[in-house]
Amino acid sequence: MREAWVLNGFIPSNQEEKQILQDITTELTFNPCEKSHKLRFHSWKEPARIRNPKVVVEKLTGGKMEREQQYWEDTPLELLRKKGVHTGLTAYIDEIEERLIPIIGSAE
């Protein structure tokens, strides 16, 4: 689930990332950032390995956690809501807004 949410927030930052995303999109026949819910966590062997969201995130980030972190910190909230409908991210954001923010706001 975490990797699907990371993919929901992915915005290529340079030409290399754009090319990697394009190559993955071509291989999958869909954009994994737009439809990360179509990826499968159990795919570790070729040729299905590219369908594993962990593999896709690894390819897009080069294994750099700080790059992953940028996806959820810098991506506009409305874009995360739009892309996260099928991964549960939109529901999670809504729940945070409905339950946690009022609690934090009342503590001030």
**pTM for the whole structure:** 0.82
Summarize pLDDT for 71-107 with one digit per residue, the tens.
878 999 999 999 999 999 999 999 998 888 777 777 6
Q: Domain map of the chain by residue range?
A: 2-106
Q: Following DSSP, what letter does each residue of 66-107 receive, concatenated?
A: HHHHHHHHHS-HHHHHHHTTTTTHHHHHHHIIIIIHHHHHHT
Summarize pLDDT for 21-78 with one digit per residue, the tens.
999 999 999 999 999 999 987 767 777 788 999 999 999 999 999 988 988 789 999 9
